[in-house]
Amino acid sequence: MSPQPSPFLRTSTVPTKKNDDITNYISTIMKNDYNISIHMKPNLPFFLHGTTDDVQENFYKIVSNPDESFQQKQNKLDQLVLGLDSKNQELYDQYRRMKEMEEREKRERVHAIVGNMSNKAQAVFAKLSAVMMNPTMKDIERMKKINDFYNNVDDDIKNEFQDKIRSLNWK
């Protein structure tokens, strides 16, 4: 027998927009009209738990800015983290190590797959990889370059990429 919902509570999840950042709005409304609301940002990194809304908003502004390069964003994140308490700074260091390990594992999986592709596809991948790994290139420039480049790739190479890369289980 499945548990019955409480007759005193009604729960809904409604997406809202707050200060140009998408947030999830979870509202629990009791029948006696008490309203308890919680605003949560999606995918909040664990090193930001317990920080102020301003810190969290600054984080999202930094990482979502397409007009800055990876290196520019990293420098701003490092400055933001310097303003956190020592516990959150330590959590940030753990977060960076974890993300670096995840990226290294993804690259290894991709390189293993690309190593079994045609020479032509490997050459295309090398060019795309050089663009993707350039830490000084702004995100918007990177996406434009990749799209322009990919639009000029032969269909057989595109199909080879789609067939091979599809087997990756991205997290």
Domain boundaries, the chain: 1-42, 43-165
Residues with pLDDT less than 70, the chain? 1-42, 168-171
Cβ-Cβ contacts under 8 Å for 102 (sequence gap 6 or more):
171
> Distance between CA 129 and CA 137 in Å, rounded?
13
The upper half-sphere exposure of residue 90, i.e. CA atoms within 13 Å in the direction of its Cβ, equals: 3
> Distance between CA 89 and CA 82 in Å, rounded?
7
Please tell me the predicted confidence (pLDDT) of residue 161. Answer: 85
The DSSP letter of residue 167 is T
- CB–CB of 133/69 below 8 Å? no
Please tell me the predicted confidence (pLDDT) of residue 163. Answer: 84
Please tell me the predicted confidence (pLDDT) of residue 47. Answer: 93
Cβ-Cβ contacts under 8 Å for 157 (sequence gap 6 or more):
118, 120, 121, 124
